[in-house]
A and B are shown apart, each in its own frame.
Chain A
């Protein structure tokens, strides 16, 4: 379903993704693990037509996301790591826009929006402006929105960041559900190793832009001779803490908070 060959992305002299190759089969749940700044999000952005690779090739369901952008976009859905909601609209309106943009027929759209908002316990507050939501509620809304249409490939970029255990559980049950029922291929990143261990069929570990290990959770643990995925991960990537430089977006959010007291 996803074929990536010798993928490379450089920003100036910085190599964010370095010669990465992997394949994800149809119906598979693939977890992409790595420390902060390892190149996970950059890879997802390239897979989802948001960034052009410097080198290498990508194939999504037989399509090239560089040249057949629109066709490729019809194949996938994505839950972003950072916020992507319109804070000035209500939860319901955010769902509506998404449904229209993804060509979900009117009736189905309403039906599924209701179902998903109930599932993620946002139904009562569907008519409230999103910027008044708490961090966890926004996150839940993003996820509910991501499930509104049924794509062939679902990208989840650290979906559980900032979620409570209940919502996290709800999310993974749902992910497994669509994966089994509708054979949706899932490509996810997470920092919680237990989640990856529990959900993923196969795992890729990326560090400093390079893919350092690939295989089933069992294989990776065996290879490093460790008991848990967490230990395996530390064995593969070392235990130094990485700092991500704040992107311009983060800086601006900071600025915007100062500027208009969190108007949005």
Chain B
């Protein structure tokens, strides 16, 4: 247990110490939120869909959770390059504990990141339909974080170096974000896009978050929860398995 705790603490310390990085990682969500949120607002309104800013805020929160959790998993690559991974891999601690400690740390950081973006959204004018639903929203953020941290660990365990990083960014992370319905409504889409969005696990995260914060949902909150929980558990097992097979 203490191994899990110390590795969790390590992730947190690394996060809170890199202030510049915290600010940098808030830049992108703010661009989406403020530029797109207000920029496309009038078009969205004219199409009869209400406030785009309200609509996009849960999507941008999901995005920041997605990025920071998947990168926490991929942080394995950094630790591999800078050697710290070896130090944990030869320690007399079951690898599953090492993986859990890292993952929980990464998820905590992702949650903090999500909360920061939530606060920024509220400051910029976002109004949740129901403040009592904040814990539910947090629950969905956690599910998103766990799922993508697991994907990050699974991929990070399989890659040898950073060469593949750009590939993952362009062909996995960005599509996951764009296909999630974070930026556009899922209703009334053509079949190919509907299938693509239904395959994207983040769609259920964004939808769940939207259902909690705005009270509107496309798949239904229960479906969102089940999909995220089941898929997240499966990916966690895959990630743990891949992690247990790492050779340095």
Q: Do A and B originate from a single complex?
A: yes
Query: Please, what's the 1-or-0 string for B6-17, where 1 marks a CB less than 8 Å from any CB in chain A?
Result: 110010011001
Please judge, given known A-B contacts A89-B10, A102-B92, A255-B162, whether A80 and B86 are in contact too, CB under 8 Å.
yes
Chain A, interface SS category:
mixed
CB neighbours of A52 from chain B (8 A) = 247
Looking across the interface, which residue of chain B has its beta carbon closest to that of A93?
B13
Q: Which of A86-133 contact B (CB under 8 A)?
A: 86-89, 93, 96-98, 100-103, 129
Q: Which of B81-99 contact A (CB under 8 A)?
A: 81-84, 86-94
Specify which of B5, B14, B83 is in contact with A82 (CB 8 Å cutoff).
B83
Nearest neighbor of A98 in chain B, beta-carbon distance: B87
- Interface range, A side: 35 or more
The closest CB in chain A to the CB of B20 belongs to A263
**Also in contact, A84 and B87, with CB within 8 A (given A45-B248, A50-B248, A255-B162):** yes
Q: Which of B14, B83, B92 neighbours the largest number of chain A CB atoms within 10 Å of its CB?
A: B92
Task: Please report the C-alpha to C-alpha distance between residue A45 and residue B82 in the assembled complex, in whole angstroms.
Answer: 17
The answer to whether A84 and B6 touch (CB under 8 A), given A45-B248, A93-B13, is no
Complex CA–CA separation, A181 to B78 (angstroms): 38
The chain B residue sitting closest to A100, CB to CB, is B6
Closest to B13 in A: A89
A174 at the interface (CB under 8 A from B): no
By a CB distance below 8 angstroms, the chain A residues around B18 are 88
Q: Nearest chain B CB to A169's CB is how many angstroms away?
A: 25
**CB–CB A86/B92 < 8 A:** no
Q: With the chains together, A174 CA to B146 CA distance in Å? A: 45
The answer to whether A88 and B14 touch across the interface, beta carbons within 8 angstroms, is: yes
Cβ B160 vs Cβ A248 within 8 A: yes
Contacts of A84 in B (CB 8 A): 83-84, 86-87
B12 to chain A, nearest CB (A): 11
Residues of B within 8 A of A97 (CB): 6-7, 10, 87
Cα(A264)–Cα(B78), bound, Å: 10
In the complex, A248→B2 CA distance in Å? Answer: 33
Q: Does A253 contact B (CB under 8 A)?
A: yes
A74's nearest neighbour on chain B, judged by CB, is B92
Q: How far is the CA of A249 from the CA of B161 in the complex (A)?
A: 7
Residue of A nearest to B248 (CB): A50
B80 interface residue, CB < 8 Å from A?
yes
Closest Cβ neighbor of B85 among chain A residues: A84
A100 touches B2 (CB 8 A): yes
In the assembled complex, the Cα of A87 lies from the Cα of B81 at a distance in Å of 12
A87 to B94 alpha-carbon distance, docked (Å): 24
B3 sits at the interface (CB 8 A): yes
| Cβ–Cβ contact A49 & B90, under 8 A | yes
List the A side residues contacting B87 at CB < 8 Å: 80, 84-86, 97-98, 101
Specify which chain B residues have a CB less than 8 angstroms from the CB of A83 in the assembled complex.
82-83
Residues of A near B14 (CB, < 8 A) are 86, 88-89
**Distance of A100 Cα from B7 Cα, bound (Å):** 10
A50 contacts which of B5, B84, B90 (Cβ < 8 Å)? B90
Pair B81/A249 contact, Cβ less than 8 Å = yes
Residues of A within 8 A of B3 (CB): 100-101
Min C-beta distance of B216 to chain A, whole Å = 41
Q: Are A85 and B6 in contact (CB under 8 A)?
A: no
Given contact pairs A251-B161, A252-B162, A255-B162, A86 touches B10 in the complex (Cβ within 8 A): yes
The residue of chain A having its C-beta at the shortest distance from the C-beta of B245 within the complex is A52
Binding site for B on A (CB under 8 A): 45, 48-52, 70, 73-74, 76, 78, 80, 82-89, 93, 96-98, 100-103, 129, 248-249, 251-253, 255-256, 264
A-B pairs, top 4 by smallest CB distance, nearest first, are: A101-B91, A84-B83, A73-B92, A74-B92
11 of the cross-chain contacts (CB-CB < 8 Å) are A70-B92, A84-B86, A85-B87, A86-B14, A89-B10, A98-B87, A100-B2, A101-B6, A101-B91, A129-B17, A248-B163
